[in-house]
Amino acid sequence: LWSLGSTVSSIDLQVDPQKKGALCQHPEGESSWHHLPVLHCTNGPIHCYTDGSATKVDGSTHATWGATVLGVGSPARDIGGAVVTGEHSEGFIGAHAPTNNTGELSAMYWALLESGSWENSRPLTIFSDSTYTLCITAGAWRPKCNLPLARAVRQAFRQASLQRKITLIHQYSHTGWFW
C-alpha cells in the first residue's frame, strides 16, 4: 500500500494492488475506492483519463500520449499527440527519448496545461494507469531519468492546483475500463 499523503492536492491517495483500485481519503474524512465506473456530469468534478505508449515501427521507437476529458463540453473532449524529443522542436517539454514513461508524463502535462481553459470552480479528477506518473506528478517519487520532463509535469500540477482541487487516481490498465 503506497500513500502519497497530502502532496496530492488535499487528499490522501493510496494505491492497493491487491484490491485493484485506489483509495481516496478526502479532507472531510470520507473514503472511497475508485475502481468502478464513475458518473460524469456537468456540475460535478471534471474527469480526465490520461495514457501514454511507445512502440517500434520500422526499427525506430515512437511514443504518443492522449487524454479524454469528460464534463467539459459534450460528450467528451480528446487531446493527444506524439512525444516531442527534439529540444528545439515545437511542443518540446523535456522528453529526451520516446518511451512509455515519457508518453505517460506527456499526457499528464498536457492534460494539466489544458485544464487551465476549463471551468475553474469545478474540481478535477485525473485517472492514470501509471503509478510512476502519478507519483512523479505528486512529488512522492524522485525521478532518476526524464528529469526535465518530470520538472515540467510537477510545475504544471502546482500551477493547475492553484486554480482548482485536483485528485489523482490510479486506474489499472487492460481491465475493461472504457476510458
Cβ atoms 95, 83 nearer than 8 A: yes
pTM of the full structure: 0.74
DSSP state of 140: S
**Cα–Cα distance between 90 and 169 in angstroms, integer?**
30
Q: What is the pLDDT tens value at each position of the chain, 179 positions in all? A: 233 333 333 334 444 444 444 444 444 455 444 433 333 445 678 899 999 999 998 889 999 999 998 887 656 788 999 999 999 999 999 999 999 999 999 999 999 998 888 777 789 999 999 999 999 999 999 999 999 999 999 999 999 999 999 999 998 766 665 54
Instruction: With H, G, I as helix, E, B as strand and everything else as coil, classify residue 86.
Output: coil
**Cα–Cα distance between 83 and 31 in angstroms, integer?**
36
Cell 520538472: give the residue.
Answer: 151
Neighbouring residues of 36: CB distance < 8 A, sequence distance ≥ 6: none
N-to-C CA span, the chain: 25
Confidence (pLDDT) at 14: 47
Confidence (pLDDT) at 72: 74
Confidence (pLDDT) at 44: 73
The three cell numbers of residue 176 are: 475493461
